[in-house]
Amino acid sequence: MRKTILAAAVSLSLVLSAPSAFAATHPIQHHSGGDHRPEHHQHPDIDWSAAPADIRALKAQLDQLRAEQKGLYEQMRQQRDRIKSAHRGLSEEKRQALSGEAKEQMKQLFEASKALRELKDKTHAAWDEFYKHSQAKEWTAAKKDMESIIALKREAVAKQKNVVLIQQRLAELIKK
């Protein structure tokens, strides 16, 4: 049972930091012209130069948040690898001893994963609205949509930073 709990914690860490997690939260590359978006989120590319300056400024903020998220996902991936490696090196006795302590981190990782999925869904919905309003040149509504997207991204960044901290605690626990 204890081995299962620790293994589940490591597995969750893998799920949270997998490259597919990055792709799941960033499937729409609104600022690039590639055709690499999932079908259910196909939108015509936006001519950002035609958007008002305040929306372009918001897009710049969004680009900064995306870069920060990319860095966080890289940290999560690296920590996942360290946790996985450390876990492999543990004896069965040590795994059992750690399972109780790891249970809380595992619970926190599950909660963070769920929250990130919910934020991803909300972000997709906000992008859908932004595209609809920007295509109709309803810039006031589009600006509100972009502000919502940025708020959701900031919330996701905060949750991802928390995942990094949880992973660090889990890695330290395994190292003991």
Query: 32-63, pLDDT tens digit by residue?
Result: 333 334 444 556 677 788 889 999 999 999 99
Residues 119 and 123: their CA atoms lie apart, in Å, by: 6
User: Has this prediction a pTM greater than 0.85?
Assistant: no
Residue 64 DSSP symbol: H
For residue 52, which amino acid is it? P
Taking the CA atoms of the chain, what radius of gyration do you get in angstroms?
Answer: 19
Burial label for 55, CB within 10 Å (0-12, 13-18, 19+), is buried
Instruction: Give the model's confidence band at 20: pLDDT under 50 very low, under 70 low, under 90 confident, else very high.
Output: very low
100 to each of 4, 10, 94, how far by Cα in Å?
11, 14, 11
What is the number of alpha carbons within 13 Å of residue 146 lying toward its C-beta? 25
Average pLDDT of 124-151? 94
Contact 105, 169 (CB under 8 A): yes
Mean pLDDT computed over every residue of the chain? 79
More confident residue, 18 or 145: 145
Q: Torsions phi, psi of 163, nearest 5?
A: -60, -40
pLDDT at 127: 94
Share of the chain above pLDDT 70, in %: 74
Is residue 79 predicted with pLDDT exceeding 60?
A: yes
92 to each of 10, 82, 96, 121, how far by Cα in Å?
15, 18, 6, 40
**pLDDT tens digits for range 82-129:** 888 888 888 888 888 787 778 888 889 889 989 999 999 999 999 999
Q: Which of 95, 56, 63, 79 is nearest to 174 (CA)?
A: 95
pLDDT at 37: 41
Instruction: Give the model's confidence band at 4: pLDDT under 50 very low, under 70 low, under 90 confident, else very high.
Output: low
pLDDT at 39: 42
Q: Which of 145, 152, 143 is nearest to 123 (CA)?
A: 152
pLDDT at 43: 64
